Amino acid sequence: MKYYREEEGKIICLLCRHSCKLGEGKTGMCGVNRNVDGELATLVYGHPVAVHVDPVEKKPINHLLPGSRALSFGTVGCNFKCPFCQNWDISQEHRIDTSITVSPGQMVALALREGCESIAYTYNEPTIFYPYARDIGVLAKEQGLRNIFVSNGFESPEVIEDMRGWMDAANIDLKSWNDDYYRKILKGGLEEVKDTLRRMVKAGIWVEVTTLLIEGENDSDDDIRGMAEFIRNDLGPHVPWHLSAFHPDYKMLDHHRTGLETLQRAKRIGKEAGLYYIYLGNVPVHGDTHCPECSELLVDRTGYSIAVNRLRDGHCPKCGREIEGIWE
């Protein structure tokens, strides 16, 4: 795809829903996409600042190749301004270290050499380096690797459509059920994120949703119920929901850590709403997967480690129900 369109002597960036209108030499709010000679230049292309091998469960993705390794990387820059960002030192940074260069081919070769089964575009918002991600992802797909986006969900409709065929899975943040909070605090938009989630599911991308629960900000029963019912009704009851505990970071160092009781309350509400798979994160509890039909333990997770995987060709060994996900 072409990542911009021309309008009145300027260009409109088509990577995310901010649709930044850029005059010559101007950079979008992400800090890393610029109008250079009338074309959109992704300044971080080929310049990752973090590259690690992680368990795929750390993304978090629980229904894709449990126990496998994902080559995970990110660049600087972001199109949101979340005050609780755990990776703020790179997401809110705009200085680019061009001395570090990794080509798409080199990234795929590294993943294969490290025994990874997927590549995860993560740590900062991957939408802002989508041209780089896509070039890697297409090559990765040709080599039998899976591709995973870990994102705030502000992709443009054009980018989501372009993901068809090479993007396998995405974990999308649903950060709040309050549009004012999204716009004023996070600099995003709730309706746009909801639309992204619907479009990704429709595009055949395996979707898991994460909500970082912050007590007093987004953890009311009504908000939790609203999010759970949206997932069930608009995405499907099989879409996994990860409820993660906030810990003080970045601009919210004075806010207390989210208690386990809050996550357990949210899980109860999600179950009442009819969701099949709900996982708790950033707390010392098991992240087990059970069969929605007969409650059989299918995958026993302790932290990011798989103790037991009883799935048989993606089915429950007891009742035979097909379990939603990507298992091979």
Q: What is the DSSP string of 164-225?
A: TTT--EEEEE---S-HHHIIIIISS-HHHHHHHHHHHHHTT-EEEEEEEE-TTTS--HHHHH
* pLDDT above 90 as % of the chain: 98
Q: Does the bond joining 317 to the residue before it have cis omega, within 30 degrees of 0?
A: no
Q: Where are the domains of the chain?
A: 43-285
**CB contact set of 187 (below 8 Å; sequence gap of 6+):** 29, 79, 80, 81
Q: Return the pLDDT at 29.
A: 96
Residue in this structure with the two tokens 């990776």, named with its chain if needed:
87
What is the distance, to the nearest Å, from the Cα of residue 137 to the centroid of all Cα atoms in its chain? Answer: 15
Rounded to 5 degrees, φ, ψ at 240 are -65, 145
CATH superfamily for domain 43-285: Aldolase class I (3.20.20.70)
Instruction: Using 70 as the pLDDT threshold, list the residues of the chain that sit under it.
Output: none
Task: Tell me the CA distances in angstroms from 174 to 110, 178, 255, one per residue in order.
Answer: 31, 10, 20
DSSP secondary structure code for residue 69 in this structure: E
Q: How far is CA 120 from CA 55, 116, 306, in A?
A: 10, 10, 19
Contact call for residues 122 and 90 (beta carbons, < 8 A): no
Q: Is the pTM of this model over 0.95?
A: yes
Alpha carbon distances (Å) from 4 to 18, 42, 168, 222, 281: 12, 11, 24, 39, 37
Chain segment 60-103, per-residue pLDDT in tens: 999 999 999 999 999 999 999 999 999 999 999 999 999 999 99
pLDDT at position 303 is 85
pLDDT tens readout for residues 121-131: 999 999 999 99
* Contact in structure between 207 and 61 (CB atoms under 8 Å): no
CA angle 246, 250, 253 (to 5 degrees): 65
